[in-house]
Amino acid sequence: MIKFIKDKCRLYETRFSFGATAAIITNLGLIVGLRTDVHAKISIIGGMLIIALADNISDSVGIHIYQESECIETREIWISTISNFITRLLVSLIFILLVIFLPIKIAVISSVVWGLFLLGAMSYKIAKDKGVNPYTALFEHVGIALLVIIASNFIGKLLIARFNL
């Protein structure tokens, strides 16, 4: 009976529930929230606050809906939803504080160092707990983050050059 319920809950839509929810809410939040052109620091802080709210809520709801579709126990679903929201909010607030209190160039460098440190520490600990090579996980996760940082830097420079900002 349990297998039937699990199989029934593994609908085709579960493959898209998390990503679609996250994409819709985040994009709407960014479109509405970043419709003005202000100084760089204010734009960065505003964007980070919007992401801390809109993207956080979209991911939390996405996780919630995905876990419901996987027939996970209701209590576990709510624990995952709330813990995801609080963790993402706190981590976002640390980055926001760095941008608020440091000169922008130092804030960017500090944020990259802090973010890579956090990602690396989590990757290392999780890999050790699983009994796999922690350096492979560390290289993989930090490598992906570095690719995102490089791509974001490229896109930002391209937009600035294109629109003469």
The answer for 71, left when phi > 0, alpha when psi is -120 to 50, beta otherwise, is left
Q: Are residues 19 and 88 in the same domain?
A: yes
Task: Determine whether 60 is exposed, middle or buried from the number of CB atoms within 10 Å of its CB (0-12, 13-18, 19+).
Answer: buried
Q: Are residues 54 and 20 in the same domain?
A: yes
CB 17 within 8 A of CB 66: yes
- Domain with 62, as residue range(s), is 1-101
Domain-ending residue, one of 85, 101, 117: 101
CA angle 46, 51, 54 (to 5 degrees): 115
Which pTM value belongs to this model?
A: 0.75
Mean predicted confidence (pLDDT) in 108-136: 90
Spatial separation of the C-alpha atoms in residues 94 and 110, rounded to whole Å: 11
Q: Are residues 84 and 134 in the same domain?
A: no
pLDDT of residue 101: 94
Spatial separation of the C-alpha atoms in residues 99 and 107, rounded to whole Å: 5
Q: What is the pLDDT of residues 106-119, one digit of tens each?
A: 888 998 999 999 98
